[in-house]
Structure 1
Amino acid sequence: MKAHPKSADAFAKARRLMPGGVNSPARAFGAVGGEPIFIDRAEGAYLWDIDGARYIDYIGSWGPMILGHAYPPVVEAVRDAALRGTSYGAPTLAENEIAELIIDCVPSIERVRLVSSGTEASMSALRLARGYTGRELVIKFAGNYHGHVDSLLVAAGSAAATLGAPNSPGVTRGAAKDTLVLPYNSPSALAETFARCGDQIAAVVFEPVCGNMGLVAPTQAFLKALRDLTRQHGALLLCDEVMTGFRLSLGGAQQRLGIEPDLTMLGKIVGGGLPVGAYGGVSGVMAHVLPEGKVFQAGTLSGNPLATAAGIATLRALRDDPPYERLEALTARLEAGLNEAVAASRATARVQRLGSMITLFFSAEPVTDWDTASRCDTARFGRFFWEMMDRGVYLPCSQYEAMFVSAAHTEQDIDQTITAAHEALR
């Protein structure tokens, strides 16, 4: 492992200032050992750390930098917006414009409400679902992450369909008691749960393509069961596209996979790298949000002018000059190269990909849910991570996070990454 003396000094100071030395636990490198690298700047597909090393970046700020870092139209839009003021706490034309862009792009959204993060979007959509249906139970799936919302920050019980238990101190049993945790990609578990208590279930919330246990795609049977059972029992289907929205297609995973949710949560790309989230859906449900309805949700920074400016510039670019065909080709090239590296090294590993999201799992079996993901060799991933870092490739610092390819990556970047993987897997 190469030395990073300036980052080491910065982290030592950070630990005196912040819990664990970070402002989000995903940045602490706890899953791979060692200490985090401190970033100085980013441009296109690259990061530079404070020691001067350059990396090909496959995190992209955990997804939003689909056009690359410091994308000139986004930088210009934010600069222009800042010169007019950084926050008003009052309506702007930009809020109308970004709302219209979202509605035009995402098939299921007829009306939308802006918030400031993906966690806020999840929290608000969940409250709306309960307020609309008058029910309390919610189904989520093991391995799906929907932000640090108390009622969704729960772990599965001992059986496949049990009430969730808090998996963080500070989350009360009362907050978790109405959440049912089921295995992902299991139509039978879903059907059994609805048969038992379908008239009490307000909503099912799910990631249409998982990125927070590594890249895991849904089966068609699972997607069909989600939609059929929620409709049959009068529950809402909540599609968490915070990570997949505008990435897997202009209309997100739901457009690519033919999903018809009642509510959708968005984040990441919709803010163009700035803090924005959104939730939206059919008009009849969204009409229940205050001040039109009675379900409370508010936020001083919702629709912030800097964030909406960045989001508008990003969504316009994705709409007017779609990068999806190129992203597909680049990521397929990476997938093929990683598979070749795995075969050449005879490593116990497999590659899973959908669109521009991809994961190299150190697993002997296909990863289809949290049970299979949890059997991955995380220690082997940690060694691979640092070998790749030493070769100038910046990967997610966990086996259970997807890699993201951006429109700024080149074929040369992909080929350099494949060469590094061949060396790192020896």
Structure 2
Amino acid sequence: MNHTLSHDLFVRAQTLLPGGVNSPVRAFKSVGGEPFFAQRAEGAYLIDVDGNRYVDYIGSWGPMIAGHAHPQVLDAVAQVMRDGLSFGVPNALEVTMAETLTRLVPSCEMVRMVNSGTEATLSAIRLARGATGRNKIVKFEGCYHGHGDSFLVKAGSGMLTLGVPDSPGVPKALADLTLTLPYNDFDAATQLFELAGADIAGVIVEPIVGNANCILPRDGYLQHLRDLCTRYGALLIFDEVMTGFRVALGGAQQRYGITPDLSTFGKIIGGGMPVGAYGGRRDLMQQIAPSGPIYQAGTLSGNPVAMAAGLATLALIQAPGFYEKLERRTHQLCDGLEDAAREAGVAITTNRSCAMFGLFFTDRNVETFAEATACDVGAFRRFFHAMLRRGVYLAPSAYEAGFLSSMHGDIEISHTIEASREAFREARA
């Protein structure tokens, strides 16, 4: 593949942008080499500035569940943008979005739109602290909730990829208010609450960890967290920025039958536009300004163009059989990758949940952060580049989940599996 134009752009970008990118994992630091620069996208494919075409398993890191540049989404955006890009006053689409979210996610009796997943999680923990009068927040190793100060304590995702578990610039006094637990460890959670339960405002968790690759909850684990929060008066916050509307129409909370107090969303509800939201019980959400004293605001929140893209996407995913088809495709992909690896004599395991999956270079099932970080990262790097050369784009980090869209069909999955047969052999080197 020729990457001349991408290389030239990256050279220019490095003099103007930190690391040449606007989000760390895009820089390929974890896998080596240089990133390609996208020109356009369609369906299940990305096309870069040099004309190279890739089957895309990132989907803009999750939101493109209906595929890139879906005609219905583009038409909705085009229709709304003719009336203006931003008003700074309420618009009807905000109300429709709130009606849609509260209908699809019953635990959210009220919602507040924001502009990113990070903004949603920051707002949710402020609400938890304000509503409970407590200061401490519990998070989990390997979970990533955006780049807010309270979350950059043993964070995963880009932080883990860069090998920096704690970020300079985060005050120690604030970091001391964040308690970190190992995900999927029942006893550790119980012991923490026994020691500090009276001081804990909330527990924030990715119900399926998507920022240390893809780690599924052990049977009963999420219910255990629900029970602990109820017993000690803390709020359970599900970060469904990634899992929301991806692993089920009602998110991971529907899939596992858990009712959190607060939930955060992003990705799919924006349909590719910058959107986030948080919501939950009415008595909690009514404490947000202007209804209550807990302040949070945003100039572009509820932007009409973003609402149009999100609503069009949410309409598409409510089609009968949408999620059943996605789940079958994900199993087809993961089973095919496991078979190809076995033929090549490479040990891998996969985790999957509907349209979300993880690939681990290990011969063991991966259920914890420690097990994820013990996998063969060197083999993943070689595999990543071997797949990229064959026109398949996976996350450029061993610690990121992959995503399918409804546009990934037999052709794309077959090509991916065939490409992996040679790529796994190269990964052994």
Q: CA deviation at 1:322?
A: 5.0
Question: Residue 339 in 1 paired to residue 338 in 2?
Answer: yes
Aligned to 1:206: 205
C-alpha deviations, 1:269-293, integer Å up to 9, x for none?
A: 0000000000000101111101111
C-alpha deviations, 1:8-30, integer Å up to 9, x for none?
A: 11100110111100000011011
- Name the stretch that deviates more: 134-143 or 147-156: 147-156
C-alpha deviations, 1:60-105, integer Å up to 9, x for none?
A: 0000000000011110111111110000111011000001000000
In 1, are the aligned partners of 2:142 and 2:154 still within 8 Å (CA)?
A: no
SS at match of 1:223: helix
CA distance in 2, matches of 1:43, 1:103: 30
CA distance in 2, matches of 1:26, 1:374: 17
Q: CA deviation at 1:321?
A: 4.5
Output aligned runs, 1:217-236, within 5 Å: 217-236=216-235
Aligned to 1:32: 31
CA distance in 2, matches of 1:166, 1:42: 33
Output aligned runs, 1:219-298, within 5 Å: 219-298=218-297
C-alpha deviations, 1:201-232, integer Å up to 9, x for none?
A: 00000001111101100012311210110000
Aligned sequence identity (%): 52
Q: CA deviation at 1:166?
A: 7.5
In 1, are the aligned partners of 2:358 and 2:400 still within 8 Å (CA)?
A: yes
In 1, are the aligned partners of 2:2 and 2:52 still within 8 Å (CA)?
A: no
- Alignment CA distance shift 1:154-1:249 (3 Å): same
Aligned to 2:97: 98
Aligned to 1:385: 384
SS at match of 2:12: helix
Aligned to 1:405: 404
CA distance in 1, matches of 2:387, 2:146: 28
- Name the stretch that deviates more: 358-367 or 24-33: 358-367
Aligned to 2:182: 183
SS at match of 2:399: coil
In 2, are the aligned partners of 1:67 and 1:406 still within 8 Å (CA)?
A: yes
Aligned to 2:350: 351
Please provide the CA RMSD for this pair.
1.2
Which runs of 5 or more residues in structure 1 are unaligned?
A: 157-164
Amino acid at match of 1:106: V
In 1, are the aligned partners of 2:350 and 2:360 still within 8 Å (CA)?
A: yes
Amino acid at match of 1:376: C
SS at match of 1:329: helix
CA distance in 1, matches of 2:279, 2:73: 24
Amino acid at match of 1:189: A
Amino acid at match of 1:375: A
Output aligned runs, 1:93-242, within 5 Å: 93-155=92-154, 167-242=166-241
Q: CA deviation at 1:364?
A: 2.9
Aligned to 1:72: 71
Aligned to 2:159: none
Aligned to 1:160: none
Aligned to 2:54: 55
CA distance in 1, matches of 2:154, 2:385: 30
In 2, are the aligned partners of 1:136 and 1:178 still within 8 Å (CA)?
A: yes
C-alpha deviations, 1:294-338, integer Å up to 9, x for none?
A: 111000000011100101111112124451011011111001101
CA distance in 1, matches of 2:21, 2:321: 35
Amino acid at match of 1:141: F
CA distance in 1, matches of 2:131, 2:106: 21
SS at match of 1:154: coil
CA distance in 1, matches of 2:355, 2:144: 19
Aligned to 2:299: 300
Question: Residue 43 in 1 paired to residue 45 in 2?
Answer: no
CA distance in 2, matches of 1:257, 1:342: 30
Amino acid at match of 2:91: T
Q: Point out 4+ residue stretches in structure 1 off by more than 4 angstroms.
A: none
Compute the TM-score of the two structures, normalised by the length of structure 1: 0.96
SS at match of 1:406: coil
C-alpha deviations, 1:172-229, integer Å up to 9, x for none?
A: 1122110000100011000000001111100000001111101100012311210110
CA distance in 2, matches of 1:322, 1:74: 20
In 2, are the aligned partners of 1:166 and 1:172 still within 8 Å (CA)?
A: no
In 2, are the aligned partners of 1:266 and 1:277 still within 8 Å (CA)?
A: yes
Aligned to 2:161: none
SS at match of 1:293: coil
In 2, are the aligned partners of 1:213 and 1:370 still within 8 Å (CA)?
A: yes
In 2, are the aligned partners of 1:187 and 1:221 still within 8 Å (CA)?
A: no
- Name the stretch that deviates more: 345-354 or 288-297: 345-354
Q: CA deviation at 1:348?
A: 2.3
CA distance in 2, matches of 1:155, 1:361: 21
CA distance in 1, matches of 2:403, 2:203: 27
Q: CA deviation at 1:412?
A: 1.2
CA distance in 2, matches of 1:78, 1:3: 33
CA distance in 2, matches of 1:110, 1:127: 18
CA distance in 2, matches of 1:132, 1:246: 27
Aligned to 1:396: 395
Amino acid at match of 1:192: Q
CA distance in 2, matches of 1:48, 1:319: 28
In 2, are the aligned partners of 1:10 and 1:38 still within 8 Å (CA)?
A: yes
CA distance in 1, matches of 2:341, 2:112: 45
In 2, are the aligned partners of 1:166 and 1:173 still within 8 Å (CA)?
A: no
In 2, are the aligned partners of 1:107 and 1:255 still within 8 Å (CA)?
A: no
In 2, are the aligned partners of 1:198 and 1:233 still within 8 Å (CA)?
A: yes
Amino acid at match of 1:28: A
Amino acid at match of 1:7: S
Amino acid at match of 1:89: G
SS at match of 1:330: helix
Q: CA deviation at 1:344?
A: 0.6
SS at match of 2:229: helix
